[in-house]
Chain A
């Protein structure tokens, strides 16, 4: 892998076999290939159902990768996510790759502030600093201070999404994956999130995102990958 590359996706394909439905096989995509350098912001584009989120989850190691390789620079090493041991993937998620999904998944008792601090603490950032970062982000994202001690599970969709974003940005990762980060936000919050993403990108974070809003996309990305090009044609 070239020195200035952080991620190299090569010949990646995905299919699902649904055993409960007579072993039906869904071929989602094949032969996906691209590379990503620090400071790149790549949009995954294409119609709904084409496999954008699926590819993102494969890069994160959440979905298995049956075909091809996903090489990621992790510290001094290059690791193929498709074949990495679970321990290695957990370490990569802690230090190298962050993921802001569309849904917040937390234990219903943990306070919002703790939810946001957690990834920073896991990176070894001292508690005081992690808390300070979390507070700044929650303020920027307009989550009222009165909500910080409460669990986010009862929050509105937009609030949960902002908590999720704060959580993702409280730690610092060389690569960030963003799955529709502005989907349920109002215009003001969308602007804030766009600024956060742009600033991370300008500081050298590589970003892969799915952005349905064309305006948002135009403000952030410098490249797009049309996933339609990799669709598996029915035989």
Chain B
């Protein structure tokens, strides 16, 4: 596991605010994320989690505030003012995305191997044999059987599609993953498998991640630190188990006490 104490933040958001007319998406959100660290963002629907996430990877532009990312060679850049070409390069190499709906992250009419290989090609890999071999390794890492490499994702179950999306995104050894409800919409048994897989990959690759979820169990098992959002604002932040076991803010307390135990 990574030691965070001496590193420079990988991503730093400073008072990020995004409004839609009179509606507040997110307001005044600041955060630091360190290499290898997983930050969970929890809150109910409409709390601004996804808006914030979109501002962080520059799919949306905040009204005010900045988001800075530290490149591999150490230079820190504002993600909203960098050139489009630079940002596209980051999205293909340094950044990974795990969408709740795998259809948003996969090309459904390209084979499983092709989905993984495509991202490799975008980073300059041209040798067909290497691409296929690496794609095969990654399918194996996410527990998709070898013989499915030429099948289309439409023939896969939801859990398999989600694992394929993860392979496609992690094959380029990114440094930062943005995950939006990564286990949402999956059966509970499939969720545990995916959670275990994600945890292993994050720790093996030293990957930093921001995980937006309304599932507190996902947050507990995946994230080191937790941020609780309500109506666009951060109401509490801290060590994950501390926020979940000894929540201070009335809204965090409500969130934790509302979990139904089976």
Contact = CB atoms under 8 A, between A and B. Distances in A.
A16 B246 CA distance: 9
Given A20-B254, A62-B246, A89-B239, A94 B196 contact: no
B248 interface: yes
Interface in B171-217: 192-193, 195-196, 199
A91 interface: yes
A86 interface: yes
Nearest to B239: A86
A109 B257 contact: no
Nearest to A124: B1
B224 interface: yes
A87 B5 contact: yes
A109 B242 CA distance: 24
B248 A87 contact: no
Nearest to A122: B1
A87 B4 contact: yes
B34 interface: yes
Interface string A75-111: 0000000000011111100100000000001011110
Nearest to A17: B248
Given A86-B224, A91-B3, A109-B196, A20 B242 contact: no
A63 B250 contact: no
Interface string B66-103: 00000000000000000000000000000000000000
A63 B254 CA distance: 17
A61 B242 contact: yes
A57 interface: yes
B253 A20 contact: yes
A94 B199 CA distance: 17
A18 interface: yes
B192 A57 contact: no
B245 interface: yes
A224 B1 CA distance: 36
Contacts of A18: 253
Interface string A192-235: 00000000000000000000000000000000000000000000
Contact of A94 (B1, B220, B248): B1
Contacts of B233: none
Given A86-B224, A109-B196, A91 B245 contact: no
A94 B250 CA distance: 31
A90 B192 contact: no
A107 B238 CA distance: 22
B167 to A, nearest CB: 18
B119 interface: no
A172 interface: no
23 contacts: A17-B248, A19-B250, A20-B250, A20-B253, A62-B241, A62-B242, A64-B242, A64-B248, A86-B224, A86-B238, A86-B239, A86-B242, A87-B5, A87-B37, A87-B224, A89-B239, A90-B239, A91-B5, A105-B220, A107-B192, A107-B195, A109-B193, A109-B195
